[in-house]
């Protein structure tokens, strides 16, 4: 079974001070994916960073909240994490096991931090992984634009040595038109 991971799409990451590449498009595509997963009764998992140890993004604060532009439903799963890798000291692994998940469909923010660490964390745990190549975002960095960061990580993931299977990269539209989509 597949699960949709929506990583760190929180208010702290989407504000006027932290412009994200193609934010509106990424949000729209994540909403399309989550709608399809819900229609097929597959888990939609929102992952929220808890920055309490660093003194920011604390649970219950406005900056910690999932951005309101994302569609959420009562049956969606919400997991808190404290590190870049969403598997580290969180309930993610046990929830995936309980739900019978063997494939992760990964989206979210930021490409070069939490998305990358979670992709690698899932790979090292032998999950099949599909990264939605137009479903993750980041900000410009001091030496490189956000677009180049995204392109680089899409390339990197596609070339990584597989543990179970090679990481699959698909656009949102490719994923949604593939049949069977969620089998």
**Domain extent listing, the chain:** 2-177
- Is 16 a residue whose pLDDT tops 90? no
Q: Is the pLDDT of residue 182 over 60?
A: no
Q: Provide the pLDDT for residue 157.
A: 98
pTM of the model: 0.96
* Runs of H (alpha helix) within the chain: 23-39, 92-99, 116-124, 146-159, 172-177
pLDDT at 96 over 70: yes
Query: What 8-state DSSP symbol labels residue 113?
Result: I
Q: Which two tokens stand for residue 140?
A: 């410009």
Architecture per CATH, 2-177: 3-Layer(aba) Sandwich (3.40)
- CA pseudo-torsion sign 132, 134, 140, 144: positive
């Amino acid at each position: 079974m597949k699960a949709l991971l929506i990583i760190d799409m929180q208010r702290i990451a989407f504000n006027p001070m932290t412009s994200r590449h193609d934010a509106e498009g990424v949000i729209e595509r994540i909403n399309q994916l989550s709608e399809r997963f819900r229609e097929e009764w597959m888990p939609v998992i929102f992952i929220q960073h808890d920055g309490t140890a660093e003194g920011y993004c604390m649970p219950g604060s406005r900056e910690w909240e999932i951005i309101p532009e994302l569609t959420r439903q009562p049956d969606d799963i919400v997991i808190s994490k404290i590190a870049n890798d969403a598997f580290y000291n969180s309930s993610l692994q046990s929830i995936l096991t309980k739900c019978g998940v063997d494939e992760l469909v990964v989206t979210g923010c930021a490409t070069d931090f939490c998305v990358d660490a979670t992709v690698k964390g899932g790979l090292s745990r032998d999950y099949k992984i599909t990264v939605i190549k137009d479903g993750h975002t980041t900000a410009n960095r001091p030496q490189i634009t956000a677009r180049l960061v995204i392109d680089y990580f899409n390339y990197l993931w596609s070339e990584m040595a597989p543990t179970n299977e090679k990481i699959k990269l698909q656009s949102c539209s490719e994923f949604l038109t593939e049949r069977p989509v969620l089998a």
